[in-house]
Amino acid sequence: MRQPLFEDSRFAVVCKPAGLMAHASPMARDEDDFLVDRLRVQFGREVMLVHRLDRATSGCVLVAFDRDTAAALGAQFMQRDVEKTYLAVCRGWPDAHGVIDHPLDGGPGRPLKKPAVTAFRRLATGELPEPSGGFPTSRYALLECTPETGRWRQIRRHLKHSFHHLIGDTSHGDGHHNRIFREHGVTRMLLHAHSLAFAHPQGGDRITVTAPLDAQFERALAMFGWSVPTAPG
């Protein structure tokens, strides 16, 4: 694991690599390598995940070193006081900014739908000389996504709902566009938890942490000459 993006005596923010499960679950029956276990070795102490990212998503993860801190930070997530900003590459050119307001269920075995809202801002657009849908080129966009709720695979499913499928998403994406990126050497899902902003559990000072992109995500941006803002917003 890389060095923490931020470390305090009670908590830390780390950068989870794409492809690593956060913790053991029924969806990871045959795996024995998890983020939380790596962090316990790295920090040499108990580590509790305050929130989670999908296996295929990279970026900021907040962890606590004791139960009181985990509860205090978890309460900020429950009260929606944590600002989470993601970078995503999608098919098509969405509006310059907008809000996707579409209820989502809780995943397998949880059919009840609950309100789900994702705001987005289009950072850049580009095209590749690859035929698609009867057109001679394929259009793509770099988005900054801010989920206002925390439903299962929310950004991925909201982008599918809006017909701007996330590139590299093998569950909710578009196979044709995923293949185009694989042929250019980009094999990961292009969703990255770029930044977290939250109040320090002691004192309340606002902390903002940004996670760097990995080489695969950087390669995808280089295909279009895109750059990423150094800070959210």
pLDDT tens digits, one per residue of 87-102: 999 999 999 999 999 9
**Residue 207 domain-assigned (yes or no):** yes
pLDDT for position 31: 64
Q: How far apart are CA 49 and CA 39, in angstroms?
A: 10
* CATH number of the domain encompassing residue 101: 3.30.2350.10
User: What pLDDT band is residue 71 in, cutting at 50, 70 and 90?
Assistant: very high
**Counting beta carbons within 10 angstroms of the beta carbon of residue 67, is it exposed (0 to 12), middle (13 to 18) or buried (19 or more)?**
exposed
User: What pLDDT band is residue 233 in, cutting at 50, 70 and 90?
Assistant: very low
Q: How far apart are CA 96 and CA 120, in angstroms?
A: 8
pLDDT of residue 183 exceeding 90, the answer is: yes
Query: How confident is the model over 183-205, as a mean pLDDT?
Result: 95
Report in angstroms the alpha-carbon separations of 76 from 5, 9, 59, 207: 20, 19, 19, 13
Model-wide pTM > 0.75: yes
Question: In the chain, what is the greatest distance between 2 CA atoms, to the nearest angstrom?
Answer: 58
Query: How many domains does the chain divide into?
Result: 1
214 is catalytic: no
Q: How far apart are CA 170 and CA 18, in angstroms?
A: 14
**Residue 231 domain-assigned (yes or no):** no
**Residue 37 domain-assigned (yes or no):** yes
pLDDT of residue 84 exceeding 70, the answer is: yes
**Residue 167 domain-assigned (yes or no):** yes
Which one is catalytic: 8, 30, 54, 205?
Answer: 54
**Residue 233 domain-assigned (yes or no):** no
**Residue 65 domain-assigned (yes or no):** yes
**Residue 232 domain-assigned (yes or no):** no
Range of 158's domain?
Answer: 6-222
**Residue 230 domain-assigned (yes or no):** no
Of 75, 71, 70, 15, residue with least CA distance to 196: 15
pLDDT tens digits, one per residue of 15-54: 999 999 997 765 555 666 899 999 999 999 999 999 999 9
